[in-house]
Chain A
Amino acid sequence: MHSSEDTASRKTEGRSIAHKLADKQQEISVTEFFEKNKHILGFDSRSKSLLMGIKEAVDNALDACEEAGILPELKVGVSKCDDDEYVVMVEDNGPGIVHKMIPNVFGRLLFGSRFHSHRQSRGQQGIGISATVMYGNMSTGKPAHIMSKVDDEDTAWMMDIIIDTKKNRPVVSNDEPFIWADKTSGTKIEYSIKGRYITGRQSIYEYLKNTAIVNPHARISFEDPEGKVHIFERATDIMPPKAKEIKPHIEGLELGDLQKMANSSAQKTMRAFLKNDFSRISDRVASEILEKAQVSENFKTANLDRLQCREIMKAVEEVKIMAPPTDCLSPIGDTLIKKGLKHVLEGMRPDYYSPPVTRPPKSVNGNPFIVEAGIVYGGEIPVDGQVTILRFANRVPLLYQQGACVITKAIESMDWRRYGLEQRGGKGIPYGPAIILVHVASTKVPFTSEGKEAVANLGEIQNEITLALRLCARNLKGHLNKKEKKKKTMAKFSIVQEILPEMAQKAAIMLDREVPNLDRTISRIMNVVWVEPSSQTSKGGLRTIQYRIFNYTSTEKSFRLHARLPRSCLNETIISDQLVDVSEEGKVTWSIERLAPSARFTLQFQLDGDMSDVFDEEDIYISGLNPAMVMGADPLPGDWSIADMDVTELENGDGDYVDDDTDDDEEEEVLEDDQ
């Protein structure tokens, strides 16, 4: 992937990255800010204010690291210094900010590198961090303290910043160079703020934990006001692919935006403006739009008025324009979602992680978007009460306004009872030991408000969420069925492994004879080929996967086993006499030949590397045997050999398990009278 390459080239390119960012950090007028941000950011309650500041700083830090190809290492600290006054500290190892830009980045509202860009990023409006600084200034009268160092300079800089709100200008004091020991590059901000520290669903801890889930490449440490340090370790060294920047797609634009873009465009004529400032508009399309809108091709962009804009937008609706490109999006990907979930939720020992689903990109209002979803079930996740919903937009956790969010709406309108969760009347948030994760990534996530707390209710998005969740839910149901079947199987296993041997032992002692060999009796009772998966992880992260295979039938058996393993984790331990094939996608086939009755065989191999814990050893498939004669492995899906089979799409696999336990039970009768 990108990471090693990028980190290697960072030294040589380092200068250009910081400076490139600086070049883009252009000014946005306050007027524009107010027009664009009709609702003021989320500093509406004290507990929220405390969180919002951290959220902005963390979002920025992660964005900067990603852009610079650095594996993020964040330190967050909150300490209490007065009744309702806290000192917040956020430090990153990002590319740093060049000295002269520091005051603007932290001290001017709407000064950002991303405001005009069309690419998926966490901080979309460049409003947050300076608003935080300003709120801190206003609520405590104290300046924010900034430290930053770029890679190619020897000294770091520190300064205190206060915002002059009237002029929207930073007032800098104590601006000094210093040597930042053991720091290659990075930024640290420390500010005082009036706030309230809370725990629970909308806490800083929760926010950081959820951030860690969708950013498995980041290491985040958090020191809470009681001095307790929580660390979310990095789960993978794989950086998310860098999102490409694209020009806006004209279909997604609002009237005002079009006019502003035109009036401030570097392009002189309307034709050049349409062609060069938007994606997917060719000469021909530009001409067609302008002709329909009755605007001259050489009309000066600077003079475009509102009326003309309206005509252009009308024309856009009639002209066929290609959908926006989607390579500007960076989904987390199914493997990394699972990785992140596993890493952060391991403490709850969930039973099951449904294979996460990443939907293909779609577009809404000219903006491409991708929906991703995953479900975690069981273990120590509380059984009573509603499921936990983890909402994310562009890798940022959404903690507020759950009820207003399209993610919640999509979940509420599904009938979860079909998938093994409780739900009153088949509507509303389901109940049960589950956590549902949904991530919406887009170049422009349509939020309900500028507080960026809930994704707006758009049919296209809801539809995609529903499709993704349905797939997860189906897998969950499959898991629950499997578990039920396993319970029955375990009962049989307990008979032959425990009760029968005890019986033989006891009878032999009582009669003073030898303990009889039980193999044939066991075969009679089980009459199955039993596959018993197990796995062990050593301290170093090396995973040993073992399949113990018993032939509990009275005839010799030959069959094949199949599993899809993470290709990157395979090593020479996979090689054995039974190994038949390893495909490009990591599909491994073993052949077990002529396993004698009562005989057992153990298949063992190791997985190492980052992705080794992504494989679930229970996902083992068998072919060449009647499925009714197998326990512990699923029949090989019909589409296994077709291209890149998605193990998640076992449409018909739900619930059609063979129940072979029907006629064994002794007839139970209620005996009617006593004694």
Chain B
Amino acid sequence: MTNERHEQAIHNLMEIVERIYDQLDEGAVPNMQLSLRSKKNIEFNTRENVWRYGSMLTDRNAKSIRGAQMLLRTLHMVDFIKNMVSSNKSSTLREMYYISEGWGHGKFGSQDESNLLAEDLEIVSKSLREDFKLRPEEDGARVIGDLTLIETDRKGKRKTINCRDDVGDSGYSIPYNVESEKVDLKSSGAKFIVAIETGGMFDRLVENGFDENSGALLVHLKGQPARSTRRFIKRLNEELKLPVAVFLDGDPWSFRIYASVAYGAIKTAHISDYLATPSAQYVGITASDILHYDLPTDSLNDQDIAALKSELADPRFQDDFWTSEIEAMLKMKKKAEQQALAKYGLDFVTDTYLPEKLGDMGLM
């Protein structure tokens, strides 16, 4: 299934190899310049409405042992990707980590390193990891609701699937590649999307029939959403014009989940325009919800507090809504889970909370 995008990716990657070769041949110290992947270096892109890397660069060169290893790894990884594309295989990031055993001094020290380098290569080659035939360990999460799509399966067969009628209770599972050649979005009877953090709440909404009764397309985020999940939501939003509501726990980590869905994650800011859905709205749980609905809470721990403070310095959270929410949470020193709404019964979330909140947003 080699296509133009793969060819382009290989071409771009081989340019990196050539550059390293030429540097060695000229007697220079090989290097590679990368966007600095830190919150210091993300800027709001007004055209795309997402946060992307700014102009700060980091120089990876062979003067340090780590830099030299990373460059050697880069060569091995490009070679590996090239071979996969030509033999029409793909591998997981984890498999690549193990394959690196044979890369001499280029062997990865941990799987994190292989993940990071894959992203680095996306940045320098202006391609996508999916174009490298590398996929994450886990696939995207589940979807339930009135959405019809055509998926091209592993045998090349096109299957039309309705994500409410043609699937079991666990829903449609989002594949790691959700580009149009794999998943063709046809139509949806839903009025909006609710992206949900926890499996428990997802199942609650399914059991309560929220998708059918309220015309919602339910997407399970499974904590920090995988790239394919975020891309899938973005495509639904852009192509089928479905507004997106993000329903999460009320704690600092959930705020970051929202930021990665709506603004773009720091780690993947080079492809925010491809992954982020700027119009996505945060439903809750907000600090004000905790007070307003008098929800059961847990105390913030030290990590929670540090995370909140770090968010106050995060450019993505520099607006009135987030500053006041974060400060309110710091002040009350409490956090609450989505499922705390069960305090008022199992139907409270679908009968009262969501209609009230989504109503405020103009979605219900």
**A interface with B by C-beta (< 8 Å):** 491-492, 494-495, 498-500, 502-504, 506-508, 510-511, 513, 516-521, 523-525, 661, 664-667, 669-675
Contacts and interface: CB of A to CB of B under 8 A. Distances in A.
Contacts of A521: 23-24, 27-30, 62
Contacts of A491: 65
A669 B37 contact: yes
Contacts of A518: 24
Given A500-B68, A675-B265, A507 B75 contact: yes
Given A516-B21, A671-B38, A672-B256, A666 B64 contact: yes
B224 A506 contact: no
A503 B65 CA distance: 13
Contacts of A672: 39, 256, 266-267, 310, 314
Contact of B66 (A516, A666, A671): A666
Contacts of B65: 491-492, 494-495, 499
A664 B106 CA distance: 19
B67 A666 contact: yes
Interface residues of B, number: 58
B28 A524 contact: yes
23 contacts: A495-B65, A495-B68, A498-B104, A499-B69, A503-B68, A503-B71, A506-B76, A507-B21, A508-B21, A510-B14, A511-B18, A520-B26, A521-B23, A521-B30, A664-B63, A666-B61, A666-B64, A667-B36, A671-B266, A672-B267, A673-B224, A675-B227, A675-B265
Contacts of A666: 58-61, 64, 66-67, 70
Given A516-B25, A518-B24, A521-B28, A506 B37 contact: no
A502 B105 CA distance: 8
Most B CB atoms within 10 A — which of A507, A513, A525?
A507
- Ordered nearest first, which 10 A-B pairs have the shortest CB separation? A520-B27, A669-B38, A674-B224, A516-B25, A507-B21, A664-B63, A499-B68, A664-B64, A516-B24, A506-B75
Contacts of A525: 29, 62-63
A507 B19 CA distance: 10
B207 interface: no
B260 interface: yes
A519 B65 CA distance: 18
A503 B62 contact: yes
B72 interface: yes
A675 B268 contact: yes
A396 B104 CA distance: 54
Nearest to A518: B24
A566 B162 CA distance: 89
Contacts of A492: 65
Give the interface SS of chain B, mostly helix, strand, loop or mixed: helix
Interface string B1-32: 00000000000001001101101111111100
B267 A675 contact: yes
A671 B40 CA distance: 11
Given A499-B69, A517-B25, 7 more contacts: A492-B65, A503-B20, A516-B21, A516-B24, A521-B23, A665-B67, A674-B224
User: Interface centre among B25, B37, B66, B230, by most A CB within 10 Å?
Assistant: B25
A519 B29 contact: no
Contacts of B226: 675
A494 B64 CA distance: 10
Contacts of A673: 224, 256, 259-260, 265-267
B78 interface: yes
B79 to A, nearest CB: 6
A673 B272 CA distance: 13
A525 B259 CA distance: 41
A501 B226 CA distance: 38
Contacts of B30: 503, 521
Interface in B290-310: 310
A353 B359 CA distance: 81
A519 B38 contact: no
A313 to B, nearest CB: 72
A258 B65 CA distance: 74
A497 B66 CA distance: 15
Contacts of B64: 495, 661, 664-666
B21 A664 contact: no
A518 B265 CA distance: 40
A667 B58 contact: yes
A511 B17 contact: yes
A495 B61 CA distance: 11
B225 interface: yes
A523 B224 CA distance: 46
Interface string B212-241: 000000000001111100100000000000
B69 A504 contact: no
B315 to A, nearest CB: 12
A503 B72 contact: yes
A75 B70 CA distance: 62
Nearest to A663: B63
Contacts of B136: 675
Contacts of B59: 666
Given A495-B62, A499-B65, A504 B310 contact: no
A508 B29 CA distance: 16
B108 to A, nearest CB: 14
A552 B266 CA distance: 40
* Central interface residue in A491, A666, A667, by most chain B CB within 10 Å: A666
Interface in B48-98: 58-72, 75-76, 78-79, 82
A519 B62 contact: no
Nearest to A511: B21
Contact of B224 (A510, A511, A513, A675): A675
A507 B266 contact: no
A495 B24 CA distance: 13
Nearest to B56: A667
Contacts of B268: 675
Nearest to B19: A507
A664 B310 CA distance: 28
Nearest to B310: A672
A158 to B, nearest CB: 71
Given A503-B24, A666-B66, A524 B75 contact: no
A675 B225 CA distance: 7
A491 to B, nearest CB: 5
Nearest to B227: A675
Contacts of B266: 671-673
Contacts of A513: 21
A672 B227 CA distance: 16
Contacts of A517: 25
A661 B67 CA distance: 13
A500 B58 contact: no
Given A672-B266, A673-B265, A500 B79 contact: no
A504 B71 CA distance: 11
A671 to B, nearest CB: 5
A22 B25 CA distance: 85
B230 to A, nearest CB: 8
Q: Which of A503, A504, A510, A519 has the most CB of B within 10 A?
A: A503
Q: Give the most central of A500, A521, A674: most B CB within 10 Å.
A: A674
A590 to B, nearest CB: 30
B203 to A, nearest CB: 23
